[in-house]
Amino acid sequence: MSDAHSSRRDDALALLARLEPDAPARVANNLDDFHAQATEILLGFAFADVVARDGIDLKTREMLTVAMLGAMGTAPGQLEFHLRAAMHTGVTREEIVEIVLQVAVYAGIPAAMNAMSAAKAAFRAQDAKR
Amino acid sequence: MSDAHSSRRDDALALLARLEPDAPARVANNLDDFHAQATEILLGFAFADVVARDGIDLKTREMLTVAMLGAMGTAPGQLEFHLRAAMHTGVTREEIVEIVLQVAVYAGIPAAMNAMSAAKAAFRAQDAKR
Amino acid sequence: MSDAHSSRRDDALALLARLEPDAPARVANNLDDFHAQATEILLGFAFADVVARDGIDLKTREMLTVAMLGAMGTAPGQLEFHLRAAMHTGVTREEIVEIVLQVAVYAGIPAAMNAMSAAKAAFRAQDAKR
Amino acid sequence: MSDAHSSRRDDALALLARLEPDAPARVANNLDDFHAQATEILLGFAFADVVARDGIDLKTREMLTVAMLGAMGTAPGQLEFHLRAAMHTGVTREEIVEIVLQVAVYAGIPAAMNAMSAAKAAFRAQDAKR
Amino acid sequence: MSDAHSSRRDDALALLARLEPDAPARVANNLDDFHAQATEILLGFAFADVVARDGIDLKTREMLTVAMLGAMGTAPGQLEFHLRAAMHTGVTREEIVEIVLQVAVYAGIPAAMNAMSAAKAAFRAQDAKR
Amino acid sequence: MSDAHSSRRDDALALLARLEPDAPARVANNLDDFHAQATEILLGFAFADVVARDGIDLKTREMLTVAMLGAMGTAPGQLEFHLRAAMHTGVTREEIVEIVLQVAVYAGIPAAMNAMSAAKAAFRAQDAKR
């Protein structure tokens, strides 16, 4: 792939660093170990092409992501990551509680209970770093 | 049920009116016709107990709802309703486009294509009222 | 396939007739037109191997099916069929209302609203036959 | 919130005690620790407003819940809880086996295999208490 | 965006033309009308970055797509498109029948019934063009 | 049940042995322990009635299964099993990488990340046996 694509990889990792400072190395290693272009293709699409875009600020985007992953219920590990990322981008714990309650409305009580567990784990991880 | 509960119904319909001015009569009729307490139980939980809460403003809540319904993909009619409601609460078309793109990241391209179709229908409905 | 398998087809259609008297011809035609063994394989599994089993009565089984299809939200046509079938096996409209409310708890308000629409269509279909 | 709402919390926990005697303290603590009103809002809706209603007996309601959670496949912890709760309300192991088989019909073999694993865990938990 | 990105758009539409000859104009118009970069971002990812890759031939990729959309059950319109696309890339009707039966195993009978309906519609569309 | 049915059980286990040589004993024990006919009903349908059919070769069928389970995201244990099975039937690691990337297109990045984790676990299991 071209230089233009390499910059997509860099752009993606730069956005990822805003979500969690130590994530880029960990996530890129995880993907690079799977396939040389996986980081560029998957994170390039997710973070360089979409999440880095103007039009919605990063904090609100993370709120949207937490709501979507909470409602879908199929990616608990990524939900916990994005709960931490949400807090890094300025989402408060109070706002996270509200999102969890709203997940209950649109995806049911069990989805909200699972999101609550993920939120508590993210809160504990944040407390442990203080 | 008690008077306290009747006020939940009223509170729910008041919130619903903020989402779409002519929705309360239509939605309540639809639910009342099904069961005398369906409006209070379902809308009371959704709108009086949760969506009306402080902590996240209504505009942001509608963005979350659009993202969740777009990602889940199982309620196209309600997605279209909440796209209209989102615009009533101040979400711009540009922000809706961004939400649709973000749905693609977390739930896949077909979910985003369906959300795009719903968004276009909501845009047309808004245009027709002008 | 053997005679034993042919009897599975017959057993499946016999169960289907208990769900809706005019369903076997319609459903079998629909499946036979797709593939000669589709009726036996799909309906044989669903109705001869599982739903026809003792251990849970057919009425309760249809309540379970309505709840599952309502919660999953991906097969509205089949949900409406099983709502009619539920009534044929003795499920009352009052019980259907309760199932719809319970779908809201476990799968969210939009799933319940869709199930309510399907229930109303099934009620109208039953009224039209009277 | 009003006294009427406090009674919703009490009603919810009373229903929960019928599902598993030691659940109310554990579940309420878990929710209270997240947000002061989470128990009332989430369990109030689930258990006081819906599951406690007449019209379907509690045993059948738990069968419906097990079927829904098995079919959805997104809340394995809650599925295991409701399998234990189902047995507390009178659902037999034989009936649970039948529900798992029916999950296979409507949601596929992997969903049924997961439900089977959860059922076995619930059976072991019940055996351990004897 | 750069020239490199414009070529992603072209690459995506070239792949789409292999799926259905008249699709590029229709799909690109549909997306361009929504947002100037939607075609590039969504189809660039889907078709230029992933589906156009070597490693799995296009025919097998379309079989995978049909299976996934059939199992997910949330995008019936796109399922029907990819059933037609599958036939354009060499998938036979017999193979489509087999995929539908396999969807039943992993996602349940209702998912397979819906996939069968979509397959029949795709077969009729192909017949009408002859 | 008849001899014809006993042969369905045998046929199912024979197919399962082609997916993973030591799976039949383990899986059948797991199912037999749950219910005497669970193996025949569930595996008979899955493997004897459907997956063993001609029309699509077993290797391609396993690719379809991996794609479906990756897209659905609700059965991570079974996904990992079928990733190993896919390799037993001749699917290469390179092809598995491609399927994971394609899952991202149709079900989103989190589904692909989960499938990548399952694939890595399957690769490690294969390496450990060498």
B42-73: string of b/e by CB count within 10 Å (b at 16+)?
Answer: bbbbbbbbbbbbeebebbbbbbbbbbbbbbbb
Test A73 with D77 for CB contact under 8 angstroms: no
Whether E34 and B100 lie within 8 Å, measured CB to CB: yes
From first to last of its 130 residues, what are the pLDDT tens digits of chain A? Answer: 445 557 999 999 999 999 999 999 999 999 999 999 999 999 999 999 999 999 999 999 999 999 999 999 999 999 999 999 999 999 999 999 999 999 999 999 999 999 999 999 999 999 998 8
Instruction: Please give the mean pLDDT across all residues of chain E.
Output: 95
Residues of E in contact with C41 (CB under 8 A): 101, 104
Model confidence over E13-66: pLDDT tens digits? 999 999 999 999 999 999 999 999 999 999 999 999 999 999 999 999 999 999
Chains contacting C (3 or more CB pairs within 8 Å):
A, B, D, E, F
Chosen for mutation from F101, F102, F105, F113 (greatest number of chain B CBs closer than 10 Å) is F105
Contact B104 A56 (CB under 8 A): no
A neighbours by CB contacts (3+ pairs under 8 Å): B, C, D, E, F
Q: What is the pLDDT of residue B130?
A: 82
Mean pLDDT of F82-94: 98
Residue F63's alpha-carbon distances to A96, C45, F82, in angstroms, are 39, 24, 9
Please judge whether B101 and E38 are an interchain contact, meaning their C-beta atoms are less than 8 angstroms apart: yes
| Residue E1 clears pLDDT 80, i.e. is over it | no
Nearest Cβ partner of D55 from C51, C95, C104? C95
Kindly identify which residue of chain D lies nearest to residue E105, measuring between CA atoms.
D108
Nearest Cα neighbor of C87 from C111, C116, C113, C58 is C58
pLDDT the model gives residue D1: 43
Task: Count other Cβ atoms within 10 Å, centred on residue D76.
Answer: 18
With a pLDDT cut of 70, the percent of chain B lying above it is 96
Nearest-angstrom CA–CA distance, C110 and C70: 10
Chain E nearest CA to A46, separation (Å): 10
The overall longest dimension of chain E from CA atoms, in Å, is: 47
Amino acid (1-letter code) at residue A13 = L
Best residue of B6, B45, B72 to probe chain D, by most D CBs closer than 10 Å: B45
Distance from CA of C96 to the nearest CA of B (A): 10
Q: Enter the pTM of the model.
A: 0.97
List domains and CATH numbers for chain A: 3-51 (no CATH), 58-128 (1.20.1290.10)
CB spacing of A67 vs B64 below 8 angstroms: yes
F98 closest CA partner among E1, B50, E60, D55: E60
pLDDT band at F1 (very low <50, low <70, confident <90, very high): very low
Taking 50 as the pLDDT cut, the residues of chain B under it are 1-2
**pLDDT for E82:** 98
Which of B44, B14, B3 lies closest to D4 in space, CA to CA?
B3
Say if CB A47 and CB A11 are below 8 A apart: yes
Asked whether the beta carbons of residue E104 and residue D108 sit closer than 8 angstroms, the reply is yes
C87's tokens = 């009534």
Interatomic CA distance for residues F128 and C50, integer angstroms: 40
- Alpha-carbon distance of C32 to B35, in angstroms, equals 40
Of A55, A98, A106, the CB nearest to B65: A106
**Nearest-by-CA chain E residue for C35:** E97
Chains that touch B (3 or more CB pairs under 8 A): A, C, D, E, F
Segment holding B5, helix H or strand E: helix B3-19
Chain F residues with CB-CB distance to B71 below 8 A:
108
Work out the minimum CA distance from B121 to partner chain D, whole angstroms: 29
Taking residue F110's Cβ as centre, other Cβ atoms within 10 Å add up to 27
Contact across the interface for B63 and A61, Cβ inside 8 Å:
no
Q: What is the mean pLDDT of chain A?
A: 95
Q: How many residues does chain A have?
A: 130
DSSP B73: -
Which three-class secondary structure string do you get for B9-53? HHHHHHHHHHHCCCHHHHHHHHHHCCCCCHHHHHHHHHHHHHHCC
D113, F74: Cβ pair inside 8 Å? Answer: no
Alpha-carbon span C110 to C73, nearest angstrom:
9
CA gap A85, A62 in Å, rounded:
7
| Cα C3 from chain centre | 26
Residue B127 pLDDT: 96
Neighbour tally for D65: CB within 10 Å: 26
Alpha carbon separation from E68 to C38, E107, F49, F102 (Å, rounded)? 20, 10, 21, 10
Q: What is the ipTM of this complex?
A: 0.95
